[in-house]
Structures are given as C-alpha cells and as structure tokens.
Amino acid sequence: MNIALLTAAGSGTRTHQDIPKQFLHVDNKPIIVFTLEAFQKHPSIDAIIVVVLQGWADVLCAYAKQFNIEKLKYTVFGGKTGQESIFAGLCELEKHYAEDDVVMIHDGNRPMLPQEVITDSFVTFSEHGNAVAAIPCTEVICQSENGYSSIRSIARETLFRTQTPHTYRFGDIMNAHRTANELGINNMSASCTLFETLGRETFFSKGSEMNIKITTSEDLEIFKALLKVEKENWIK
C-alpha cells in the first residue's frame, strides 16, 4: 500500500491571514484541496491521511466530500512542531498498515505538485529505499555570520534545494522518529534532516520549480498567477 501523509497543521502566521493558509480559497477552492487532488489523481496512491490543526478536521472532511477526494481515509491533529505532526500521522497509520507499506510525506501547502514528481519519488524509492524531491540550486549562495554581509560563497554545483514529497518504507520512517524521540531530537524541520542526524543517506528524486511552498503572502500571489498560466507550445 502507498499512503500519502499530508502535513497541514501550521497556523500560517507568515501569510498574515485570519485563517490557516492551507484553508485559504484560491479560485473558489481551498489550497489544501489542490494538494489533495494531486494525490487523488495519481494511480499509485491508495490512501491519504492529513495531519490538521485542532478544530479544522471537520472542515477538511467537508471539503474532501465536496471535491470528491475519495482517498482521504484519516485525519489526525498535529503537534507543536513539524516533527511532532509527522509522528502523530505515523502513529495513526501504525494502526492500519504494515512496516513494508510505503509512506509519502508532503507539505499540505505545496498545492502545485506535478504528477511526474510523485511518480519519480516512487521510482527513486524503489531503487534506493528512500526519496526526497530536490532541485539543483541555480543562485549564488553566500554564507554570512552577521546577516548583512559575506566574504564567502558556496559552490552552487554542490547544493540542492529539497522539497516534498519524501518517500520512505513505513517501518523505516517510524523507527527513525522513535529513535529521535529516545535521543531527545525533537525539532527537525524535515524528515530528510532527521535521517541525516541519525546517519542515514538521502537519495534525491525529481523536484520542480512549480512545486512551490506557500508560506508568505508573496507565495500566495505567485500561486494565483501560476494557476492562470498555460504552457506555450514552443516551450519544451
């Protein structure tokens, strides 16, 4: 079984809106529904679980019914950090699935996830045992100690920007979280950094510049614009 675990428990303070960013409407549809539709559409996804804010589970389920998200099987409340929220989702999945099942973890506020990125994540996982969507860094990256100047840049050829999805064997990611809890590691920003901290190698799958993460109000405007853009025929 292949299960998508979507994290949607953030409060969205950086968008300066009155409701969580994942429930903001764009073109008469909540952002989280765009994300759900990507997994609903993909033939390799069997079920979806969403980690959601307290008080928003019924709202999410109502939207799922309205937009025919039939693969949504479970909702669970998130924790104080992203790590806690993912662990909460994994604990719910443990009641229903086996160690050899596959979990694809994805940010609920990445609503433009291409189908080919999901597919390549599964391909990379099948070859290497895990997969983290990533794209090469094209900008010059400077290191700064004071936050306003730099005397050192880092070779961009060695740098990759990670995104989600992150795909793991369920038993592996569950064991990683349990080990982290035992060691007092409790605020990893992403599953790949958790694996790194535990000495595990991460393998890159295909990412996409379209796979934006909506964090700020500027990201929201970019998302709105991208929805209205059609690819020109001459662009390969």
Q: What is the DSSP string of the chain?
A: -EEEEEEE----GGGT-SS-GGG-EETTEEHHHHHHHHHHH-TT--EEEEEE-TT-HHHHHHHHHHTT-TTEEEEEE--SSHHHHHHHHHHHHTTT--TTSEEEEEETT-TT--HHHHHHHHHHHHHHSEEEEEEE--S-EEE-SSSS--SEEE-GGG-EEEEEEEEEEHHHHHHHHHHHHHHT----SSHHHHHHHTT----EEE--TT-----SHHHHHHHHHHHT----TT--
At 11 the pLDDT is: 64
- Which pLDDT band, with edges at 50, 70 and 90, does 76 fall under? very high
Query: What is d(CA 111, CA 33) in angstroms, rounded to the nearest whole number?
Result: 8
Whole-structure pTM over 0.85, yes or no?
yes
Whether residue 129 is contained in a domain is answered as: yes
Range of the domain at 185: 2-134+161-227
Whether residue 51 is contained in a domain is answered as: yes
Whether residue 141 is contained in a domain is answered as: no
Q: What is the mean pLDDT of residues 100-126?
A: 97
* Domain total in the chain: 1
| CATH classification at residue 193 | 3.90.550.10
- Which pLDDT band, with edges at 50, 70 and 90, does 188 fall under? confident
Whether residue 219 is contained in a domain is answered as: yes
Whether residue 146 is contained in a domain is answered as: no
Whether residue 11 is contained in a domain is answered as: yes
Whether residue 212 is contained in a domain is answered as: yes
Q: What is the mean pLDDT of residues 195-203?
A: 91
Percent of the chain with pLDDT over 70: 94
